Structure 1
Amino acid sequence: MTSALRRLALPALLMTVLAGCGLTEPDTYELGEDHIQVDEGEEFTLSVPVDTAMGEWWYVTAPEPDRDVVRSTDKREEIEADDDSVGSGSGTDSFDFKAIGAGTTKIRLIQCPHGACAGGGDAGGPVTPSPVPSGSPTPDAKYRATVHTYTVTVRKP
């Protein structure tokens, strides 16, 4: 084997070994990447920006994804504190999933500005947009809950 071929083969072999050991990072999908295709057994992450200074939070909302197709494995927050104000900052919410079986399902994430959602969090239950009281002015769009839908197709390897 020539030395040039060996130099090419070693990184490819290393990546194959790492992938087989589960040591590679899962693919990450951001807002706007709403059609996702993964292989059965693969892990993936949905990553969304969060602005805690505005009291914004994200949750998985109903109807939940088909558990025979994907399962939630973790939710992580990475917040960088603002120097000006205690308890405020911006960062990323990451929702981790594992592809369980072949099929297609939808994952719905709800973006909740301060006071825009009911339920969920420490209260438990599904997170839903909070109703606007009758006779109240329509809230500005930046203060309304928004649902972002991801269509996930899991393929057999």
Structure 2
Amino acid sequence: MRTRPLLFLPALALTLALTGCGGSSAASYGTGERSISVDAGETFTLEVPASSAMGENWYLADPEPDTAVLDYEGRRDDNDAGEDGTQYFDFTASHKGRTTVKLVHCPNGFCHSAAEATAEPASSAAPNAGPVPTATGTPQTRIEYFEYEITVR
């Protein structure tokens, strides 16, 4: 009986592709990791806690990252966990350089966009009265910026 090894190659290639063998998934960084180094061509995700059911959301804020360094691929939401949801901001490191990614955290339904978070308040009692602070810790119950310094090698 003679076997034909070439017949197995397509099946082997399909198996490797479906299992992800030899590939790698995108690196993910949370709110505690604000200084990030990646290689050109690498994809990565900023992963932030968000309970949209409780009115908590995150938005990419101005100024947006330098497009000569990073490509913003978009935002994804995982709200299946109910109050413990997650939002993901996906990027591809396109060229060597440095840039800043600025996310605005909007808890408790205080804002529904980055522009709304930084708009002048209608009254001094508005929850976003005053300048938006830059966060130094974990997300709080106020509107605040989270800045990520990205270095592409």
Q: Provide TM-score, normalisation by structure 1.
A: 0.68
Alignment counterpart, residue 136 of structure 1, candidates 125, 129, 133:
125
Provide, for residues 88-142 of structure 1, a one-character-per-residue CA deviation record: whole Å limited to 9, x for no partner.
Answer: x33110111000110000001111124433645xxxxx45334333442767x95
Read off the aligned partner of 1:131 and give its amino acid letter: E
CA distance in 2: counterparts of 1:137 and 1:75, whole angstroms? 27
Alpha-carbon distance in structure 1 between the residues aligned to 2:55 and 2:126 = 21
Determine whether 1:43 maps to 2:43: yes
Structure 2 gaps, min length 5: 1-15, 129-138
Distance change in 2, residues 1:91/1:72 (3 Å)? same
> Percent same amino acid among aligned pairs?
37
After superposition, the Cα gap between the structure-2 partners of 1:127 and 1:61, relative to the gap in structure 1 and judged at 3 Å, is farther
Whichever structure has more strand as a proportion of its residues is 1
Distance in 1 of aligned mates of 2:45 and 2:62: 19
Q: Partner residue of 1:71?
A: 71
Structure 2: which amino acid aligns with 1:96? D
Q: In 1, Cα distance between the equivalents of 2:54 and 2:112?
A: 17
8 Å contact from structure 1 (residues 53, 90) kept in 2? no
Q: What is the root-mean-square deviation of aligned Cα atoms in Å?
A: 2.8
Q: Which residue in 2 is equivalent to 1:100?
A: 94
Q: In structure 1, how many angstroms separate the alpha carbons of the residues matched to 2:127 and 2:106? A: 16
- Give aligned pairs, total: 126
User: Aligned letter for 2:122?
Assistant: P
Structure 1 residues not aligned, in runs of 5+? 1-13, 83-88, 121-125
Q: CA deviation at 1:70?
A: 0.5
Using the alignment, how far apart are the partners of 2:88 and 2:112 within structure 1? 21
CA contact (8 A) 1:116 1:130 kept: no
